[in-house]
Chain A
Amino acid sequence: MIEGTILLVDDSPDDVALTLRAFRTNNITNKVDVAPDGEEALNYMLRDAESRPKPVLILLDINLPKVSGLEVLRRIRADERTRYLPVVVLSTSSEDRDIVESYDLGANSYVRKPVVFNEFVDAVKVLGLYWLLVNQSVLAPKGE
């Protein structure tokens, strides 16, 4: 597995706790930073970008306070520094418009959070395996 931080953007403390638990269950040991709303996510990735290394994976909820997940996605795709970061939308919604809009805005993947916890653990396992092991990400964007 590649080293590096995973940024979890989610406003529900329960969901954050369960997601961290699913990481542990799957032996995903990467450091996880949490942004509880869209504004903090943008600060983390754009405003304060120089103060820390870029995350290796972003798990992004759509329904977020202040700035919506889709808006966060739009802004980080518009910025040279974060354009190629792997973003997995992790949402409760199975609405077509959310799925279509996420892909339109450049999401790498869209996963609906299952109600049954074991199914969620399985989903996180597959996500971790793919994005942290199998997939080859852009490590040095153009101009850097």
Chain B
Amino acid sequence: MKPSSRHWFAGAVVLQVALGVSAAAAGPAWAGGWRAALVAVTVGNVLILGGIAAVVGRDTANAERSRGDAELNAQASHDQLQELIDNTSAVIYMKRIDDGRYVLVNREWERLFKVGRDQAVDMTDRDVFPLELADQLRANDLGVVTAGRTVQFEETAESDDGLRSYLSVKFPVLDNEGNPYAVCGISTDITDRKQAEQQIQQLNAGLETRVAERTAELEASTRELDAFSYSVSHDLRAPLRSLHGFSQALLDDYNDVLDEVGRGYLDRLQINVKRMGHMIDDLLNLSRATRADLAREPVDLSALAREIMAELSATDPDRVVKSVIADDLRALGDRALLRMVLQNLLANAWKYTAKLEVAKIEVGQTDRHGERVFFVRDDGAGFDTQYASKLFVAFQRLHPTAEFEGNGIGLAIVQRIVRRHGGQVSAESELGHGATFYFTVAAATEGKTR
């Protein structure tokens, strides 16, 4: 049965109202946004059915007299609706289900496909589009009928604007017996959005490639660094051994030929060779502190500190140093690297208290700025706090070598290791009144809950 045009107009009246309401609700942006249009049409679809029912109701209830008025109103409403759908950038159309012929198209449809609405009503998609596309569109339309509700499709169509992508919202239109007889569609051009999506995908892919490249570069430079410190370890130490060994041979075998001054020169040579050997070892440790894989294990800092203090006492048995090491200093981290931290801090404390008859070195834990921190404290020479920022920079020293031996790498190593453990290191001192070094690392108990 072919539905009367009156029913379609009646439906259209309600659709217009629905569009108006939704538009008001959606705010001023509705005309440009396909989302707003989509909501409006979905609501409109429901109301079309209501509108048809209302008209049918009126048909039976009202007298012949009011029919003329109704048709006049309906015609006016139809014109308004046509106006509305002609003034949108969306493509709007309605096709019969049985033979696929167009019932209604809007101006945008006419513009894009170069077919006037008068010709369109006698045409199917096959008359407008290439066969394959036409059949796809028809299949989508029939899918809507089967679904019996609003369905969204992504469709493409070729026009003078080139190949464009559309988001098509399609819904069945029912006759007065509640049977679908047509499918109405609203297609929004989403080509730009698709292109943007594609661009984003390309950009993302490009970004990933760049990240991969940079990672490879970084890995390469890490390997270079590794190779460099390896060759430093081998190649720079070897000549030092010769220098020291043969100067020793001179001192041993030619002692009677050398005078006091000559022996003094050789002593100086050996002292410097020794110093350079330590420097190379420290540099290697610095590099190792950066390169080493970080283990995360509970570490007993109290035990480590006692061990290191015992070693220091053994190398310097004449010194009197009172060591106060708190029990239960526990941290979560890399045992070998944390040992290096304590080793450096305690060796410093040992060194800078060398001029005291009785020195005191403390290792403990305290609250500082609301944080639990470990500390190593001595009562030795201390340093001028205005130079504190130089403390942790490699090769920067605050004391002349003649006064205190050292090459300024120890604290740089400490800082690198502590930072790799996610902690901070800082120092406090007063010149002549000792120094305290503070550092944080994750506590062992925190680690267990992680």
Residues of A bordering B, CB below 8 Å: 12, 14-15, 17-18, 21, 63, 91-95, 113-118, 120
Is there a chain A Cβ closer than 8 Å to B240's Cβ?
yes
Docked pose: A21 CA to B246 CA in angstroms = 10
B244 at the interface (CB under 8 A from A): yes
Some 24 contacts from A to B, beta carbons below 8 A apart, are A12-B238, A14-B246, A15-B242, A17-B245, A18-B245, A21-B249, A91-B234, A92-B234, A92-B238, A93-B230, A93-B233, A93-B234, A94-B281, A95-B230, A113-B237, A114-B241, A115-B240, A115-B244, A115-B274, A116-B244, A116-B270, A116-B277, A117-B248, A120-B245
Shortest distance from the beta carbon of B334 to any chain A beta carbon, whole Å = 13
| Distance, CA A21 to CA B252, complexed state (A) | 11
A142 CA to B234 CA in the complex, in Å?
38
A92 to B248, CA, bound (A): 19
- Having A14-B238, A117-B244, one finds 6 other A-B pairs with CB under 8 Å, namely A92-B233, A113-B241, A115-B240, A115-B274, A117-B245, A120-B245
In B59-118, the 8 Å CB interface with A consists of none
Structural contact, A95 and B233, CB atoms closer than 8 A? yes
Give B residues with C-beta under 8 Å from A: 230, 233-234, 237-238, 240-242, 244-246, 248-249, 270, 273-274, 277, 281, 284
Task: Determine which of A18, A115, A117, A118 lies in contact with B237 in the assembled complex, contact meaning CB atoms within 8 Å.
Answer: A115
Those 3 A-B pairs whose CB atoms lie nearest each other, nearest first: A115-B277, A14-B242, A18-B245
**Chain A residue, CB-CB nearest to B236:** A92
Asked if A15 and B238 make an inter-chain contact with CB atoms under 8 angstroms apart, the answer reads: yes
Residues in A neighbouring B270, C-beta threshold 8 A: 116
Q: Report A-chain residues with C-beta under 8 Å of the C-beta of B245.
A: 14, 17-18, 21, 117, 120
- Given A15-B238, A15-B242, A92-B238, the answer on whether A116 and B230 have CB atoms closer than 8 Å is no
Cβ of B241 and Cβ of A18 under 8 Å apart?
Answer: yes
Contact status A14-B241, CB under 8 Å: yes
User: Which residues of B lie under 8 Å from residue A63 when comparing CB positions?
Assistant: 234
Q: How far, in Å, is A25 (CB) from chain B's closest CB?
A: 8
A93 and B242 alpha carbons, distance in the complex (Å): 16
**Cβ A15 vs Cβ B248 within 8 A:** no
User: What distance in Å separates the Cβ of B267 from its nearest Cβ neighbour in chain A?
Assistant: 13
When the two chains form their complex, are residues A115 and B241 in contact, meaning their CB atoms are under 8 A apart? yes
A18 to B239, CA, bound (A): 12
- Shortest distance between the CB of A110 and any CB in chain B (Å): 14
| B274 with A94: CB separation less than 8 A | no
- Residue among A21, A114, A116, A117 having the largest count of chain B Cβ atoms under 10 Å: A117
Instruction: Give the distance to chain B from A72, nearest Cβ to Cβ, in Å.
Output: 17
Q: Please give the distance in Å from B285's CB to the nearest CB on chain A.
A: 10
Known: A94-B284, A115-B277, A116-B274. A15 touches B230 (CB 8 A): no
Q: Are B249 and A15 within 8 A (Cβ)?
A: no
Q: Which residues of B contact A117 (CB under 8 A)?
A: 241, 244-245, 248-249
CB-defined contacts of A113 to chain B, threshold 8 Å: 237, 241
Question: Nearest Cβ in chain B — how far from A57, in angstroms?
Answer: 21
The residue in chain A whose Cβ has the minimal distance to the Cβ of B270 is: A116
Q: B271 CB to closest chain A CB, in angstroms?
A: 10
Task: Note all chain B residues with C-beta closer than 8 A to A94.
Answer: 233, 281, 284
CB atoms of B233 and A118 under 8 A apart? no
* Max chain A Cβ within 10 angstroms of own Cβ: one of B241, B246, B248: B241
Residues from chain A with Cβ under 8 Å of B277 in the complex = 115-116
Residues in A whose Cβ lies below 8 Å from that of B238? 12, 14-15, 92
Cα distance, A17 to B249, chains bound together (Å): 11
What's the Cα separation between A114 and B233 when bound, in Å? 12
Given A115-B273, A116-B274, decide whether A92 and B237 contact each other with a Cβ distance below 8 A: yes
B277 to chain A, nearest CB (A): 4
| A63 CA to B273 CA, complexed, in Å | 22
Cα(A21)–Cα(B245), bound, Å: 9
Interface centre among B242, B245, B248, by most A CB within 10 Å?
Answer: B245
Say yes or no: B234 contacts A18, CB within 8 Å: no
**Beta-carbon nearest neighbor of B249 in chain A:** A21
B230: chain A residues within 8 A (beta carbon): 93, 95
List the B side residues contacting A92 at CB < 8 Å: 233-234, 237-238, 241
The CA-CA distance from A56 to B281 in the complex, in Å, is 33
Min CB distance, B60 to chain A, in Å? 96
- Chain B neighbourhood of A95, CB < 8 A: 230, 233
CA distance A12 to B240 in the complex (A): 13
Bound-state CA distance A15–B273 (Å) is 16
